[in-house]
Amino acid sequence: MASLDASTLVPDIQISSNIARTSAVALKADLANPIFTGAVTIPTPTAGDNSTKAASTAFITTAISTKADTSALTSHTSNISNPHNTTAAQVGNTVAQWNSNKLQGVDIISTAPTNGQVLTYNSISSKWEPTTSSGGGSSPVIHPGYRSGIYYPHSSYVSGVSNNTPIPQSAIAYTPMIIYSAVAIDRIGLNVSTAVSNALCRLAIYSNVSALPGNLIVDAGELDCSTTGGKEIPVSLTLSPGVYWFAGTVPTTNSVPNITIISSNFSNVSVLGQSSISTNSNCVLRQGSYTYAAYPSTAPVNNLSYFVNNNCPLFWFRVV
């Protein structure tokens, strides 16, 4: 506050002091909604501070570098609970690859799908599995389901059987098998009607790919057919609804037994089809020029022909 002298005038020294003070006050920011200019420096809060304190650039830089630590992302990829199997490099990639091994928290089986297949939940394996869609709504086929401990024929079109036909040598006999609902199988086999010494047969199941045998699901191994009666091989597999292919072959160096076959002329024609309308029908696919051995991972289909009429081996499977 300036004071007046005896002449009621403000001394010059006080005028200059007041002007300087007023100029200094004008440079200060308001307490409410202040506007700062220049480089404003504030104390840096402790890392992780979640209060209403002002955050300095040092505080923000530390927080960002901690959250963007790629080592944490890299270690995440080795964690089996990681639902996307995503690498640190893929996070920064504009075309990230997301590989999900779960759907709604349920495992997806590692089997690679084929063209046209869909994911179906299998209550036996408790996993999602690629299956060939039958179409037609929620109940595409009519079947009561499978019962534990019961044997079922590979075909639903069994109107009669015969006991006088061998599986061909130097060939594979493929016959389609339709599975109507998810099922666990622990035996596959056939019936030997006429036994010969040292007789063997090798059985397998293939997937269906484009209406032909595709990928090997199980090579059950060799079956001793040197005595008559039902012969079976232990297996352990779960099949989802769809079409599969039974495969049977015998060695050329051994005698060939007769087995029970389906005697109906039209046992499999609805699946195999044929080139013209006829009273004869295709019942088995035959892969010729095959050397007896363990079954390959992909079904040989380069030399196919048809067995017609009463030549379809009757294969069986047992439900767990």
Q: Which one-letter amino acid corresponds to residue 60?
A: I
Integer angstrom CA distances of residue 175 from 5, 79, 213, 270, 314:
125, 44, 9, 12, 9
Q: Assess if residue 46 is contained within a domain.
A: no
* pLDDT of 58: 87
CATH of the domain at 291: 2.60.120
Q: Assess if residue 219 is contained within a domain.
A: yes
- Whether 129 and 242 have beta carbons less than 8 Å apart is answered as no
Which pTM does this prediction carry? 0.58
Q: Assess if residue 130 is contained within a domain.
A: no
Q: 305 and 165 in one domain?
A: yes
pLDDT band at 68 (very low <50, low <70, confident <90, very high): low
Q: Assess if residue 182 is contained within a domain.
A: yes
* pLDDT of 69: 53
In the numeric block, the tokens 């759907």 are attached to 103
pLDDT at position 143 over 60: yes
* pLDDT of 230: 94
210: domain range?
A: 151-319
The strand pairing partners of 219, in sequence order, are 204
Q: Assess if residue 121 is contained within a domain.
A: no
Residue 100: CB partners within 8 Å, gap ≥ 6? Answer: 83, 84, 85, 108
Q: 158 and 22 in one domain?
A: no
Least confident of 7-21, 25-39, 116-130, 177-191: 7-21
Q: Assess if residue 129 is contained within a domain.
A: no
Give the number of domains in the chain. 2
The strand pairing partners of 208, in sequence order, are 213
Q: Assess if residue 50 is contained within a domain.
A: no
* pLDDT of 95: 47
Helix (H) or strand (E) holding 175: strand 171-179
* pLDDT of 85: 57
* pLDDT of 10: 56
**Average pLDDT of the chain, as a whole number:** 78
In the numeric block, the tokens 């099922």 are attached to 183
Q: 176 and 307 in one domain?
A: yes
pLDDT band at 13 (very low <50, low <70, confident <90, very high): low
pLDDT at position 118 over 90: no
Q: What angle do CA 238, 242, 243 make, to 5 degrees?
A: 105
Q: Assess if residue 298 is contained within a domain.
A: yes
